[in-house]
Amino acid sequence: MRKSLLWILQFALTAGLLWLVFRDPSKQQVLKDAVRQADWRWLAAGVVAYGFFELLAGVRWQILLRVQGIRISWTRMYGLLMVGLFFSLFIPGGTGGDLVKGYYLLKEAPVGRKTSAALSVVMDRLLGLLGVAILTGTITGLQWEWLTSDPLTKNYIYSGIAVLGVCVLGMAVAGLISALRLVHALPEKLPGRNFLASVSGAYALYGRAWLATLAAVFISILAHGAHYTTFYCAGRAIEMSGPRKPTAVELYSALPVIETVAALPITPGGLGTREKLFDDMLTRLCDLDEGVAPSISMLGYFCIAFWGVVGGIFYMFYRPGKSERDASFAETTAQLGAKLPGS
C-alpha cells in the first residue's frame, strides 16, 4: 500500500511539474517546434554522449569489482547498468536503479562474494558522488558571481551545495569511523550499525587500493562531463531554429547544480524536476525566451531514455549467469544428497 502511494505521489509530482513548466501554450509550441526542427545528427550525438557516460560508469564499476576480487564479463555488467537505468527512468518508487542493479549483481557474483559485490555498488555510488562534488565545487566556484546573480537561482545553488555537502560529510564521517576503527564501539542496537561496519571494511579495502580508487574518482568526473554533453548536444540540435540558446559555457556552468538537485529521488529519472530547474535557472541567467531551456532539457531526456529502453529490453530477456546456475545446481545437489540413504 505504501509503495502504491509513493508511485502515485511521484507520478502526480512529475505530471504536476511538467504541467507547471509547459502550461503556457507558447511554451508548448516551442517544444513542438524544437522536436520537429531538431537536427537528428546532434540528437544522435547526444545519445552517443550518454552512452559514453555509461561506458565510463562501467569502467569505474569494473575497477571497484576487481579490487574486491570479483570478475564479471563486460557484456553482462553493461546489461546490469542498463537495467538500473531503466528502473531509474521509468519505474517510480523508492527502489532506485542502484538497488536493482545490485540485486542482479548478486545473482552474477560468485558464491562467497555476495557481500563484496553489494559493497561495490555502494562504493560506486559514493565515489560517483565524490566526483560530482569535485566537479560541482570547481565549476560553481569559478562561476559563482554569475550563478548567484539571480535570487531564485541563488537558492538552487545553495540547495545543490547543501545536498552535496551532506553527502560528502556522511562519507567523511564513515571514513573517520573506518580509519579510527570505531565501528565496534558503536551501540549494538544502533540502526544501520551492521551496514556501517561493512562500509567501514570496504573503506579500508579501497583505501589500501588507493590508486584504483583515485582512478575511479577521476573516471567519475569524466563520466559526468559526458552526461552534461548530452544536453549540450540537445541544445545544438535546435541551435539553428528560433531564438538564442545558452552557450556551452553557460550550460556547463549550470548543469552540475541542476543535475545534483534532479538526482534526488523526487521524480523518476528527474523528469519534471530537471525541466523546472532548466526553466528557472537558464531562462533567467541566460535571458532566454520562454520555453527554450525546458525544451532542451526534454530533448536531452529523450537521448537518455534511449538507453533506458535498451535496459528494458535487456531486463525482459535477462537470465542469470553461469555462476548463479552453478550455485543453484550445487545447492540442489547438496539437498538431494542429504535426503539419500546413508548420506
Residue 111 predicted with pLDDT over 80: no
pLDDT in the model for residue 192: 67
Q: What is the pLDDT of residue 333?
A: 40
- Predicted confidence at residue 120, as pLDDT, reads 86
Is it the case that residue 194 has pLDDT exceeding 80?
no
Residue with cell 588507493: 210
What confidence tier does 164 reach under pLDDT thresholds 50, 70, 90?
A: very high
Q: Using a cut of 0.85, tell me whether the model's pTM lies above it.
A: yes
Candidates 145, 149, 153, 129; CA nearest to 276 is: 153
pLDDT over threshold 70, residue 6:
yes
Q: Count of CB atoms within 10 A of residue 52's CB?
A: 17
Local structure of residue 243 (DSSP, 8 states): S
Mean local confidence (pLDDT), 32-38: 90
Contact criterion met (CB below 8 Å) for 98 and 125: yes
Residues 269-304: pLDDT tens digits? 899 999 999 999 999 999 999 999 999 999 999 999
Is 80 exceeded by the pLDDT of residue 184? no
CA distance 185 to 198: 14
Query: In this predicted structure, what is the pLDDT of residue 320?
Result: 67
39 close to 24: Cβ distance less than 8 angstroms: no
90: pLDDT confidence band, cut at 50, 70 and 90?
confident
Q: Which DSSP category does 268 fall into?
A: G
Q: Over 90: is that where the pLDDT of 263 sits?
A: no
Among 25-29, 180-184, 321-325, whose mean pLDDT is lowest?
321-325
Sign of the Cα torsion 46, 52, 57, 58 reads positive
pLDDT-derived band at 108, boundaries 50, 70, 90: confident
Span 32-58, mean pLDDT? 94
pLDDT of residue 53: 96
CA 31, CA 306: separation in Å to the nearest integer? 19
The predicted structure's pLDDT at residue 69: 86
pLDDT for residue 10: 83
**pLDDT tens readout for residues 11-21:** 889 999 999 99
Question: How many of the other CB atoms lie within 10 Å of CB of 102?
Answer: 20
C-alpha cell at 96: 532506485
* pLDDT score, position 330: 47
